[in-house]
Structure 1
Amino acid sequence: MIRNWTAWVVLLAATLGSVPSAGAATLQRVDDWGGSGLPGDVSMHVYVPDHVAPNPPILTLVHYCGGTAGAVFGQAQGGGIVDAADDYGFIMVVPSSGRCWDVVSNKTRTREGGGDSHAIRQMVKYALETYGGSADRVYATGDSSGGMMTELLLAL
């Protein structure tokens, strides 16, 4: 009797959409993505949808001053970007520092200079290599300090 009841509840819940998929994609921290000489307080997170497009685009999602990967990812969920990644199969690279991004030092304004921009570039390179991404379709977006870093990344 319990077995039948459990099966019925699972079927009902699945029909109503309240049971998450066992393979549901989540934001994941990535270790060993960069080399030496990069800022030690910058970490990489990635969102890889369950169904990745062939040769997928990479979207770099850069947080605001004092933000984190989790916080900006939450904004992306509310704004529909995560749903778009799920629908179109693109990968999101989400760097995190918990502070404002450095966009003014010579180190970060120099390509491969060892600053925050270099760290984010290494994350994108890692994602391109690891997930077979398209180097011709790399994008960046952010707000506040993340918006300024987006401009710097585009300039570099």
Structure 2
Amino acid sequence: MLSLEEYIARRKQEDGINEFDKESRMENLQTCVGYVFEYFNQYLDITKMEEQTALNNERIEKYRKQLRQYEPEIQEWLVHVYAEYDKQINHSIARFLKKDELFLLYNTDHEFRSISYECYAHLGKQYPFLKNQTEMLFLFIKCFLQGKSAEYCSI
């Protein structure tokens, strides 16, 4: 779907309007005002946009319910990543952690931070939005390994 500016530019090009032609100024003004009305009344389907927004909100809320076991700050981070990039990053992190045979034994901040840097190095190329997110990655891994290790085995 085009933005209003893109729609007007496309229509101007299609109709061959030269907005710098002084003699056609009033005609061009009426035509461009018509484009705006046409955009909002015909091109832009508000009900479709509302449906998409409602479906997206439902999808996000469904994902949020899956994250109840995590701290609110971590939940918000994961939901933000999902809403912005359409990635359930917690699953990718969990798969990475599962590759480390000793991860269930980790219990110090140093160990959690160390594996979070390894995880960032591994996932950073695939998910560039993780840049500058190492602290949230650390917090997620710490929460995940301290509180979810038994449940993790069933993933």
Give TM-score scaled by structure 1 length: 0.28
Answer 1 or 2: which has greater strand percent. 1
Larger Rg: 2
Which has the bigger relative contact order, CA under 8 A and spacing at least 6?
1
